[in-house]
């Protein structure tokens, strides 16, 4: 299989950005991966169980409703409403685009945002920020993408619309290239002299129990 990846970020600056929505209609992807929580490490959505003409409308309306609620705090969520409207348009046309959520579970995402809410940009120099913002979540993302493509039984060359922020996608592509442990360490943590592959796990355990819970599940160190 040789998938064609098409990646589009959207602005997270509390404004509307329809690049992903337009990409749905322009590229008519076979698979869409969202930067949304995969609960219990399962990236599947309920929509993938059904043919285009039988997609569960109640679940679709719930997605739309939840996004509109979120948009009261974060206006950019309305961009996702339009993206989902265009996904539904493809279904109505008989195109069975599959939808997956590939980010870490909500518990991990919520803890990250709570811990680092007022720490940017100084957090960029913190190894724990790199571990929680990037490494843990992106190992999970890369694992989900790998498994999604392994399970896919449709086209030989599917088009995959990647709705991850560009920075995440760059890192995920690196992980998908099958780097060695040494290469992974250098990529994420090489500039931090205060941690080593042997000590980082214990330091995460001492710092944050939620981060450590997911570190244990996915880390190569």
For the segment 111-146, what is each residue's pLDDT rounded down to a tens digit?
988 877 656 555 667 899 899 989 999 999 999 999
Considering the chain, what is the average pLDDT of its residues? 93
**Host domain of residue 173:** 4-218
Predicted confidence (pLDDT) per residue in 40-72, tens digit: 999 999 999 999 999 999 999 999 999 999 888
Global pTM reads 0.93
For residue range 150-188, what is the model confidence (pLDDT) as tens digits? 999 988 999 999 999 999 999 999 999 999 999 999 999
User: Residue 12: what pLDDT?
Assistant: 67
For position 15, what pLDDT does the model report? 76
Give the length of the chain.
221
Cβ pair 152, 1 in contact under 8 A: yes
| 8 Å CB contact between 189 and 127 | yes
As a whole number, mean pLDDT of residues 9-13 equals 72
d(CA 110, CA 131): 15
| Tens-place pLDDT, residues 95-120 | 999 999 999 999 999 998 887 765 65
Number of domains making up the chain? 1
Element holding 68 (H helix, E strand):
helix 57-70
Look at residue 118 in the predicted model and tell me its pLDDT. 58
The order of strands in the sheet holding 31-37 is 4-7, 159-163, 31-37, 98-103
State the Cα–Cα distance between residues 49 and 56, nearest whole angstrom.
9
For residue 77, what pLDDT is reported? 83
pLDDT per position as a tens digit, 199-217: 999 999 999 999 999 999 9
């Amino acid at each position: 299989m040789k998938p064609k990846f098409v990646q589009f970020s959207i602005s997270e600056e509390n404004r509307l950005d329809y690049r992903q929505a337009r990409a749905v209609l322009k590229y008519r992807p076979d698979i869409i991966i969202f930067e949304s929580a995969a609960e219990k490490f399962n990236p599947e959505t309920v929509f993938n169980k059904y043919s285009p003409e039988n997609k569960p409308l109640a679940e679709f309306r719930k997605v739309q409703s939840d996004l509109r609620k979120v948009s009261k705090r974060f206006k950019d969520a309305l961009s996702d409403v339009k993206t989902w409207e265009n996904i539904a348009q493809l279904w109505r046309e008989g195109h069975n685009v599959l939808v997956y959520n590939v980010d870490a579970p909500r518990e991990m995402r919520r803890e990250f945002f709570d811990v680092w809410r007022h720490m940017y940009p100084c957090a960029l120099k913190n190894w724990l920020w790199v571990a929680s913002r990037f490494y843990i979540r992106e190992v999970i993302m890369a694992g989900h993408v790998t498994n999604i493509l392994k399970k896919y039984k449709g086209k030989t060359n599917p088009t995959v619309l990647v709705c991850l922020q560009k920075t995440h996608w760059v890192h995920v592509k690196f992980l998908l290239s099958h780097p060695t442990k040494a290469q992974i360490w250098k990529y994420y943590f090489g500039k931090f002299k205060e941690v080593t592959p042997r000590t980082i796990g214990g330091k995460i355990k001492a710092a944050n129990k939620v981060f450590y819970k997911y570190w244990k599940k996915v880390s190569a160190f």
